[in-house]
Amino acid sequence: MNVLIVHAHPEPKSFTAALRDQAVETLQCQGHQVRVSDLYEMNWNPVASADDFAARENPEYLVYALEQRRSSKEQTLAADIQQELDKLLWADLLILNFPIYWFSTPAILKGWIDRVLVSGICYGGKRFYDQGGLSGKKALVTVTLGGREHMFGEGAIHGPLEDMLRPLLRGTLAYVGLEVLKPFVGWHVPYISAEARQAFLVSYCRRLENINEDKPIEYPRLSQFDDRLFPRLDLDGAPSSVS
């Protein structure tokens, strides 16, 4: 299996970096091919702009997604985007490894998503969810945060973590066709002991050793909808089941 780890943390000695290193070691020991995009080390440019295209179909008005489609066909994407897109298309498993900032990803990772999930290749038209351009591949989100586990879930102060990450899990990863696995979480890591951190690393190692047994989160399938994207009706007239 080919694995791409996109790592987004500014501190090389962070626990998030330790999770990255654990993933590399565990997956390589299993015989998988692993590549790492360390966004801060790469000085990744997170800003989507007209500079991302060597040539423009419409130089007077920028419609970013439309220019992505044209540039991907004509191979005129900026070199840094093309390099990351090539890694993504090579990978069978994408791991996003980051600390949660304000219920979301760090800006540098959001910029990787904006620039690398190219329209016309990763999605476009009705190529989304199970028909997305990255269908057949898997994604795992590995996060660290300061909150305690009891603060997340039904009825908890912050609600379920999956709800917090919905724009990423569903609106991004599932949308482009990836099979999204349940996130791995390092809870309360700035405040716990070295022993507790080591326990997280052991748990992560075991998770990755058995990653092929993970069942993806269920999201909508286009077959559940008609040509206008209204839910299809079951024989009893009820809408088809949609997650």
pLDDT value for 239: 61
Give bridge partners of residue 225 from the DSSP assignment: 231
pLDDT given at position 88: 98
61 touches 53 (CB < 8 A): no
Cα-based angle 31, 139, 7 (whole degrees, multiple of 5): 80
Q: Which residues contact 206 (CB under 8 A, 6 or more apart)?
A: none
Query: CB of 166 within 8 A of CB of 152?
Result: no
CA distance 116 to 35: 16
CA-atom Rg of the chain in angstroms: 19
Measured at the alpha carbon of residue 218, what is the angle toward residues 179 and 135, in degrees to the nearest 5?
25
Which helix (H) or strand (E) segment is 80 a member of?
Answer: helix 79-90
| Residue-level length of the chain | 243
Q: What are the residues facing 10 on neighbouring strands? A: none
Could you state, in order of their start, the residue ranges of all structural domains in the chain? 2-216
Tokens 């989160």 sit on residue: 217
Q: What is the CATH number of domain 2-216?
A: 3.40.50.360
Instruction: List the one residue out of 194, 195, 206, 200 whose CA is nearest residue 143.
Output: 200
Gap between the Cα atoms of 65 and 48, Å rounded: 10
| Euclidean distance between CA atoms 90 and 1, whole angstroms | 10
Which DSSP category does 3 fall into?
E
Q: Give the SS3 label for residue 5.
A: strand
Contacts of 149 (CB under 8 A, 6+ apart): 185, 187, 188
Block means of pLDDT (10 residues each) for the chain, 243 residues, are: 98 97 98 98 98 95 96 96 98 98 97 98 94 97 95 94 96 98 96 95 97 94 92 66 56
